[in-house]
Amino acid sequence: MNFDNVPPHPRVSATIDPDGVAEVIFDGVPHYLRSGSLPGARRDVTTYVAQRARDVLGRAVLVHVSEPEGRFELAVHPDGSVDERASRDQAPDPSALIHDPQSDATVMTRVRPPAGPATQESAPEPAERPDVAEPAAFAEPAARPEPPTPAVRFEPAEPAARAEPPTPAAPAEPAAPAEPAEPHAPATQAPAGRAPAAAPDHWAPPPRPAEPAAEQLPPSPHRAQPGSYPTQPARQAPFPAPGQPPSSMPSFSPSVPQPAGPAYPPQSGGSASVPQPAGPVYPPQNAGPAYPQQTGEPALTRRQLRESFLTQEQVEAPASTGLRGVLARAGIKTAPSAAERSERSDRNTVSQHWPGVRTIAIVNGKGGANKTPTTALLAAVFARNSGAATLAWDNNVTRGTLGWRTDQGPHDATVLDLLPEVDNLLSPGAKAGDISHYVHHQPADKYDVLRSNPNLLSSETRISAPDVDAIHDVAGRYYRLVFVDSGNDESAENWLRMIDKADQLVVASIAKPEHAEAGALLLEELVARGGRSAELARGAVVVVSQAREKDTKPAASDIAQGFTGWVRETVTIPYDRAMVESVLRFDSLAPATQRAWLRAGAAVAAGL
C-alpha cells in the first residue's frame, strides 16, 4: 500500500509501555488502554483505532506507534487490517553485510518486501542483480573463476495497480565469469559471471535511479497479500490484528541484528544456494498477510472500550498521630507517615469479614508458652477492629486458665454446661441471644469466652472428638471467628480434632529455648502427618513474646529468627507487665505492645 494515499488527518499516535499500558492520542484526545502485556496492548491499540476509523471516519488512518521494540507507522483500516512499515529514522541492519563463499567478496544487500503485484504490462524482463555492491576494496579477484550462482534479489518499487502475478520466465543460461557490475548499475542485464535467474512469481524488478547506498537500505512500505509461502516463514508483525492472539514468534525490528538463519534453498534457474542476510526476512508477494487476520473472536464493544464515569478514587485520610497529626488537627493538611500507613494497612487487614466461619488454633505442647494471652489478645484485636462476632474457646481439659485471665459474666457456666444443650442451640427455634447463657462477654474487648472448668480433674472433663464437632457447630452458628486455646496433650482426642477444624495455626512461645523447641517439634510432627496438618504447619504464624523484662538472652527476635523459612510469618511481642497480670485487657497494654499485637493479627488474617 502507498502510505501517501492515507490522509495525515486526524493525527493518531500510540505509545506502548513494556508493562502493557498504551496511550492512544486520536486527533489530540488521549485514550488509555491497560492490557497487562505487550502483545495485548498491541492488539487493543489496533482494535481501538480500527473502530474509530470505521465509526468516525469511514477510512484508514495513519498511526505513529512508539513501543519497546521500535517506532512504526501503521495504516489501520476500518475492517481491522493493518499495513506496517518501519520508521524511516532507524539505522541499517548490520546483518545486511554478508559474505559470499563462492567469490570471497562481501556484499551489502537486504531482501525487502514487495509493495504489491506488478501488472503484466509493467513487468520488465526477468533479471537480477546485487542490491548494493561494496567498494573496490571488497571486489572479487578478476582472474579467479567461479561457478554460476543465483544473484541476490533487489528491492522492488511500488506497482501501478494490483493484478495477478506474472508467469515466471524460463531461466537463462549461465554467462562466462567476469567482473561484477559497478555499484548502482542499471538492471538491464545480469552482471558478468552471474546467471540471470528466473523472475519470481511474486514481483518483477523495475529499474531505479542511482542513489547513495545508505539511502537504499531502509525498508519500503508494503502491504502483504493473501496467499501461501511454502519455503520461507512469514515475517511476524509487531502488532497483531484485532481479535488475534499474539504469535509465539518474536517480533522483528529492522534496526536490531537477528541471529543468523539457514541459507535459502536454490531459486528456480540456479544451481546452488546463496547465503542470505542473517535474521528474519520479509515474505514474498504471495505470502500470507503480515498481520494475522481476525479468526471469529468478537471485537470489543463500545462499552468495553469506554472508560466508566463511576471510577472510584481512593482519598487518603490526613495524619492522625504524632506531629503530623497535630498539624492536621490544626487545619494544615498533612499526609500520614510511613509508620501510620503501615498501621492503617494492618488494621484494615484484620477488619475484613470472611465468608463462612474461620477457626484459629493456638498451640504449643509445653505449658507456660503464652497460649492463653495469645488467644485472648488476638481475639480482642479482631473483635475490636472488625466488629465480627468472635469467640475465644478454652479447649484445654488440664486446668485451662482462659477463664481466670478474662472477665466473668453474670453466671459461671463452662463448656460442660453447653454440651447438653447443643441440640437446643442448633434447633430452628433457637435465638441469637441463647448462647449468652454459656459464654462470658468481654465488655471492653468485644468478644466472648467459652470457659473450661479448671476446678475439676482432667479425667472428669474429657472432651471427645464428637464433642468437639458439636461445640464447633454451635460456635459456627453464633460466631464468625473462633479462637481456640489448646491444651498441652497433643495426643488427646479434642486436641487432634481441633487441628482438623482449624483454618489457621498459631504457634505461641516465649523467648526461652525449651518453649521454642517444643513449638518446632510440634510443627515437625504435623508435617509428618501430611495432608491438612502439613498445610497448617507450613502456613503457621509464630508469635514469640518477651517473657521477662531484663532477660533478653535469647531475645524474642532471636527465637523468631530460628523459625524463619519454616513457617509463613513470625511476629515478636515486647515485654509488657500488663500481660503478666491476672486479667488480660487490650487497653491496658503499652502502645508498642498494642501495635505488635495488631501486626500479629494482620499476619493471622493473611492466612484466612
The mean per-residue pLDDT over the stretch 452-472 comes to 83
Q: What angle do CA 503, 466, 410 make, to 5 degrees?
A: 80
Does residue 250 contact residue 143 with C-beta atoms inside 8 Å? Answer: no
Length of the chain: 608
The pLDDT value given to residue 150: 45
The reported pLDDT for the residue numbered 545 is 95
pLDDT by residue (tens digit) across 123-180? 444 444 444 344 333 334 444 545 444 444 434 444 444 445 545 444 444 444 444 4
CATH number of 351-605: 3.40.50.300
Three cell numbers written together for 63: 498511526
190 φ, ψ (degrees, to nearest 5): -75, 145
DSSP bridge partners of 146: none
**Cross-strand pairs, 485:** 362, 394
Judged against a pLDDT cut of 60, whether residue 570 lies above it is answered with yes
Mean pLDDT of the chain: 73
Give pLDDT tens digits for 341-366. Answer: 999 999 999 999 999 999 999 999 99
Q: Cα dihedral sign for 538, 541, 547, 551? A: positive
Q: Is the pLDDT of residue 277 over 50?
A: no
Residue 96 pLDDT greater than 90, yes or no: no
Query: Burial level of 146, CB count in 10 A (0-12/13-18/19+)?
Result: middle
Q: Given this model, what pLDDT does residue 92 score?
A: 38
Report the run of H or E that residue 75 belongs to, with start and end.
strand 70-76
**pLDDT value of position 6:** 59
- Tell me, what amino acid is at 60? A
**Domain extents for the chain?**
3-80, 81-302, 315-350, 351-605
| Residue found by looking up cell 531475645 in the block | 555
Handedness of CA 66, 67, 70, 74 (dihedral sign): negative
**Would the pLDDT of 78 be above 50?**
yes
How does residue 39 score in pLDDT terms, banded at 50, 70 and 90? confident
Which residue carries 484485532 as its cell? Answer: 242
Backbone dihedral angles phi then psi of residue 366, each to the nearest 5 degrees: -105, 135
The DSSP 8-state label assigned to residue 95 in this structure reads: G
Strands 12-16 and 541-545: unpaired
3-state secondary structure of 545: strand
Beta carbons within 8 Å of 99's beta carbon, 6+ residues apart: 105, 106, 275
Integer Cα distance of 402 and 443 in angstroms: 16
Instruction: Annotate 193-254 with DSSP letters as a single string.
Output: TSBPPPPPSS----------HHHH-SPPPB---S---SSSPPPPPSSPPTTPPPPSSPP--T
DSSP β-bridge partners for residue 390: 481
Asked if residue 223 lies in contact with residue 77, where contact means CB atoms within 8 angstroms, the answer is no
Question: What does the pLDDT read at residue 526?
Answer: 95
Query: What digits encode the pLDDT tens for the residues 416-427?
Result: 999 999 999 999
Provide CB contacts within 8 A for 140, sequence distance 6+. Answer: 100, 103, 104, 105, 146, 179, 180
Mean pLDDT of 46-52: 87
Q: What is the CA radius of gyration of the chain?
A: 39
85 falls in which pLDDT band (50, 70, 90)? low
DSSP summary character for residue 309: T
d(CA 489, CA 429): 37
Task: Give the residue with greater pLDDT, 490 vs 311.
Answer: 490
| pLDDT at residue number 2 | 53
d(CA 535, CA 296): 45
Average pLDDT of span 94-116: 39
What's the CA gap between 519 and 423, in Å, rounded?
37
Instruction: Quote the CA–CA distance of 473 and 471 in Å, as a whole number.
Output: 5
- pLDDT for residue 323 is more than 90: no
Give 476's DSSP letter: H
Q: Give the pLDDT confidence score for residue 139 in this predicted structure.
A: 39
Contacts of 107 (CB under 8 A, 6+ apart): 97, 98, 100, 130, 132, 133, 134, 138, 152
Q: In 3D, which of 136, 148, 126 has the Cα closest to residue 200?
A: 126
Do the strands 440-441 and 541-545 form a parallel or antiparallel pair, or are they unpaired? unpaired
Closest CA to 98 of 111, 89, 85: 111
8 Å CB contact between 532 and 539: no
- pLDDT at position 581 over 70: yes
Strands 97-100 and 105-108: antiparallel
pLDDT tops 50 at residue 112: no
Predicted local distance difference test score (pLDDT) of residue 567: 96
Q: How far apart are CA 123 and CA 118, in angstroms?
A: 6
In this structure, what C-alpha cell is assigned to residue 593?
505492645
**How far apart, in whole angstroms, are the C-alpha atoms of residue 119 and residue 315?**
65
Higher-pLDDT residue of 589 and 28 is 589
The secondary element (H helix, E strand) that includes residue 99 is: strand 97-100
Q: What are phi and psi of 117, to 5 degrees?
A: -70, 135
374, 392 in Cβ contact below 8 A?
no
* Whether pLDDT at 250 is above 50: no
Report the run of H or E that residue 418 belongs to, with start and end: helix 415-418
Coil, strand or helix at 449: strand
Tell whether omega for the bond before 166 is within 30 degrees of 0, i.e. cis.
Answer: no
pLDDT at 301 over 70: yes
Mean pLDDT to the nearest integer, 451-469: 82
The set of cell numbers assigned to 547 is 517473657
Q: What is the pLDDT of residues 395-436, one digit of tens each?
A: 987 778 899 999 999 999 999 999 999 999 999 999 999 999
Question: What is the per-residue pLDDT for 53?
Answer: 84
Residue 586 clears pLDDT 90, i.e. is over it: yes
DSSP characters for 368-405?
TSSHHHHHHHHHHHHHHHH---EEEEEE-TTT--TTTS
Partner residues linked to 430 by β-bridges: none
CA distance 378 to 139: 85
What phi and psi, each to the nearest 5 degrees, are found at residue 52? -65, -40
Residue 162 is predicted with a pLDDT of: 47
Q: Is 458 helix (H, G, I), strand (E, B) or coil?
A: helix
Q: What is the pLDDT of residue 97?
A: 36
**Which grid coordinates are listed for 522?**
510440634
Q: Over 311-362, what HEC string results?
A: CCCCCCCCCCCHHHHHHHHCCCCCCCCHHHHHHHHHHHHHCCCCCCCEEEEE
The percentage of the chain sitting over the pLDDT mark of 90, rounded to a whole number, equals 38
Q: Give residue 341's pLDDT.
A: 92
Average pLDDT over residues 60-67: 87
Separation of alpha carbons 461 and 439, rounded Å: 17
